[in-house]
Amino acid sequence: MGHWFSRNIVEPGKVPMLLALTSFVLTFLVTRTVTRLIRAGKGPFRNVSSGGLHIHHVVPGVVLTVIGGFGAVGSDRHGVGGAVFAVVFGIGAGLVLDEFALILHLDDVYWTDEGRKSVEVVVLTAALVGLALSGFSPLGVNDMTADERQDRATFILTLVLNFALVLVTLVKGKVRLAVIGTLIPFVAIVGAVRLARPGSWWSRHLYARRHKARARAAIRAYRHDKRWTKVRRRLQDVIGGFQERVPGRGTPPSS
């Protein structure tokens, strides 16, 4: 474990990335916990406001992201400064993406169905950064043996093929399956060979005159959504702390 960490994290200068990812995930979890306590009226936490204006935590998040980003760019990846700015950047990114849905809709949709997009974006970001951190990039470590070079070449070819499958899956409107395909090789082949989702680029351009294909795609999408939407929402509820609204009661704003 120590040799792997040194070879794949320390030598390529990925320690700041690891620190940024860790602070990003912890910030998201802490922020969700605090906002749930505020919503429930428990604990010492309260919403922050100034002159009657509610200050969302995306505001300090943007400031920290800018400071951490520029600081990290100007710092040495192997130095203390780079590590410190990486943590600052991770904290800021966690605060910003926790309210991604608010930025997208320009409305306080934190506890609504639209607000679930924030959870999806955070999970996606953490997964992709974790992927890069785990050494999925074909570059980064010098002094490879001949066997390692051959393995690396095989890996690059596999990566290119898998990328093509992910791209086809993406234009077919199957975003989640495409994301999973970036993490697990060749999973995207399932989305690449199946019918596209209605409204996707593939459906609009390649099913324009294929009426039967459009009808089959619509039926399949309906059945899929009916089967998996509840499961996906339960998982989002566990991560993001969403709760059913109580009739007749408003939803307090997020912090």
pLDDT for 91: 97
DSSP 152-218: HHHHHHHHHHHHHHHHHHHHTT-HHHHHHHHHSTTTTHHHHHSPPPTTSHHHHHHSTT-HHHHHHHH
Q: Which residues, including other chains, have CB under 8 Å from residue 24's CB and lie 6 or more apart?
A: 90, 91, 93, 94, 125, 126, 129
- Tokens of residue 69, six digits: 């980003």
Distance between CA 198 and CA 223 in Å, rounded? 13
- Tokens of residue 75, six digits: 């710092």
Could you tell me if 25 and 33 are in contact, meaning their C-beta atoms sit under 8 angstroms apart? no
C-alpha dihedral, 243 to 247 to 251 to 252, nearest 10°: -100
Phi-psi bin for 147: left (phi > 0), alpha (psi -120 to 50), beta? alpha
**DSSP element (H, E) containing 62:** helix 58-73
pLDDT for 254: 54
pLDDT in tens, the chain (255 residues): 667 777 777 777 888 999 999 999 999 999 999 998 888 888 788 888 877 788 899 999 999 999 999 998 888 877 889 999 999 999 999 999 999 988 888 888 888 877 888 888 888 888 878 877 776 544 444 445 566 556 767 777 887 888 899 899 888 888 778 877 877 778 889 888 888 888 888 888 888 888 888 888 888 888 877 777 777 777 777 777 765 444 444 444 555
pLDDT for 71: 93
